Amino acid sequence: MIKRRKTIAVRAGAVKIGSSSPIVVQSMTKVPTVDIARCVRQVNHLVCAGCRLVRIAVPTRADTAAFAKIVQKVTVPLIADVHFSPNRAIEAIEAGAAKIRLNPGNIKDTKSIHRIIDAAKMHKTAIRIGVNEASIRNLKTQDVPAKKRTALMLKEMKKYVALFEKRSFTQLVLSAKSSDCQRTIEINRLIAQTFDYPIHLGLTHAGLPEDAQISSAITLGALLAEGIGDTIRVSAAADPLVETQIAKQILIALGMYGPAEPHIELIVCPSCARAQVDIARLARRVKKNLPDINKPLRIAVMGCIVNGPGEAADADLAICAAKKKAYVYRKGRRITIVSESRIIPELLKQLKNL
């Protein structure tokens, strides 16, 4: 059992981040914010996929105006992603953002930050301080060696957090991202040691999904396994639904996905010379045919009796394939033997019973 780091609790609308709350999956919309209908559609898809927070970029005044309308049309708390403009931050807060993200690399003057804090206090809006290595490097520090860049990110975070604390604002979530796995792990460990605020984990600019899922799983997985991280976002050059699926998979693999959140953990054996059916094909068919479920389930698809009954013991449902047939297990107990063509219908029938 992974012991989570203790943090203060931060509220983003109805969603609690940190403390004993389940780790929150979030993602970002990737359609123009001013295209309200498409944006709302994408937010709703993300919610169905398991996002409990959705972030939307608001680079212009027209975007914050659209953001105000989007807030009214969705059920999930929205985060406004703000860079460069204190006015955008205040407009987003007034528009109903549950949380805003500020980048210390590009909103720096104390007066503006005080204006934002005052608006956030008035509207009960949380703020994420999102330090980004690329933004730090824009501060003409390109020649700073990698190790010192981590220290620089921490220094920037400390300076920024102090501004908020001096004005008695503590509804903060902290994040520090890099495209480098080791540096992201290092900086987040330092942040976890230094502050009591919840941490948003992410590896930035992680690349195409096939690359992003590996680097994100390594980086976020390492930190989560140490108990660090209260909300996660996987960045990938892909549909945000893909980001959400990767984020969910990371949490499921660590046994940290919200215990009450419906999800299916699919255990599939890798197959070997003993298998008498095409296991990958069978597992894909099982996955494709799974219905929507309302509770967490573990399903095992195994190729033979070497490990089949063992995995079945820990699964809600298991299939142990043999030549042209399969043994079906429920909660570790063998309940029937079916022909190959009956595997999927039988599985669906048993799922209904569960």
Residue ranges in contact with ligand SF4 by CB under 6 A: 269-272, 274-275, 302-304, 306-308
Question: Whose Cβ is closer to ligand SF4: residue 154's or residue 277's?
Answer: 277
The identity of residue 135, as a single letter, is S
Query: Nearest to residue 263, comparing CAs of 226, 292, 303?
Result: 292
Q: CB of residue 315 vs ligand SF4: minimum separation in angstroms?
A: 13
Question: Whose Cβ is closer to ligand SF4: residue 214's or residue 305's?
Answer: 305
Q: CB of residue 311 vs ligand SF4: minimum separation in angstroms?
A: 8
Q: CB of residue 310 vs ligand SF4: minimum separation in angstroms?
A: 9
Question: Whose Cβ is closer to ligand SF4: residue 240's or residue 303's?
Answer: 303
Work out whether the CA dihedral 270, 272, 275, 276 comes out positive or negative: positive
Helical spans, DSSP H, in 96-232: 110-123, 133-137, 146-166, 181-194, 209-225
Q: What is the DSSP letter of 138?
A: T
Question: Whose Cβ is closer to ligand SF4: residue 116's or residue 302's?
Answer: 302
Question: Whose Cβ is closer to ligand SF4: residue 86's or residue 303's?
Answer: 303
Going across the sheet that includes 297-302, the strands are 264-268, 297-302, 317-322, 325-330, 333-339
How much is the CA Rg of the chain, to the nearest whole Å?
23
Question: Whose Cβ is closer to ligand SF4: residue 35's or residue 278's?
Answer: 278
Q: CB of residue 77 vs ligand SF4: minimum separation in angstroms?
A: 43
Q: CB of residue 304 vs ligand SF4: minimum separation in angstroms?
A: 3
Question: Whose Cβ is closer to ligand SF4: residue 79's or residue 283's?
Answer: 283
Instruction: Say which residue the tokens 């799983």 belong to.
Output: 217
Q: Is 8 helix (H, G, I), strand (E, B) or coil?
A: coil
Q: Report which residue's Cβ sits closest to ligand SF4.
A: 303
Structure tokens at 214: 């590996």
| Calpha distance 304→326 (Å, rounded) | 9
Q: CB of residue 348 vs ligand SF4: minimum separation in angstroms?
A: 23
| Calpha distance 109→118 (Å, rounded) | 15
Could you list the beta-strand ranges (E) of the chain.
10-12, 15-17, 24-28, 53-57, 78-81, 99-102, 126-132, 172-177, 200-201, 231-232, 264-268, 297-302, 317-322, 325-330, 333-339
